[in-house]
Amino acid sequence: MFSGIVTDVGEVRSIETHADVRRLSIASAYEAGSIDIGASIACGGVCLTVVAVEAAAGGCVFQADAAPETLAVTTVVDWAVGTRINLERSLRLGDEIGGHLVSGHVDGQARIVASEQSEETVRFNFAAPPDLARFIAQKGSVALDGTSLTVNGVAGGQFDCLLIPHTLAVTTWGERREGDMVNIEIDTLARYVARLTEAGAVSAAGGRLAA
């Protein structure tokens, strides 16, 4: 589990393809000795398992495999050498949850349809996939490229979020532009509320729920 609070921005150093799996080498400021083989790291919001790690100047380079499902659903398929990605280490018991609970299981991709910059903040407007739009609510939480953000407004299949200077400075959001695709993970609570609501509607209509 993660909290959507980015702790480093990594850079893709190399990509190797083995059958239908891509092995990514990612440079990070994390200390190599602090990362166990098998550890989970959210990379652009995608939970990936570390399969190798070595010390490097300024931190480390770790490797992780992206499976076909990940490549089909997320922006990982478009990453290239030099791509910068938001990173977050998995939570430990007792850690502060500064954002909201994030699983790293990306639901799909949202597209940036507009951005509006004020003196210090930037408001991004996103188009959500139709099957996910119903889970996004005003003042609710959403994880975009691994960043926990608050939804300011919702209009049909679109929603907007306001990013503060700190977030723009310590994540890849300062580089995002109109037309970019970003990984989206809807709030787990919203998913369960929707499921319970649907189950209640079926029950009220006289349907029988499976055990």
- What are the residue numbers of the active site? 2, 40, 47, 49, 67, 105, 150
89, β-bridge pairs: 41
In whole angstroms, give the CA distance from residue 211 to residue 196.
Answer: 14
Contact yes or no for 121/165 (Cβ under 8 A)? yes
In whole angstroms, give the CA distance from residue 64 to residue 51.
Answer: 5
CA atoms within 13 A on the CB side of 118: 9
Contact yes or no for 47/40 (Cβ under 8 A)? yes
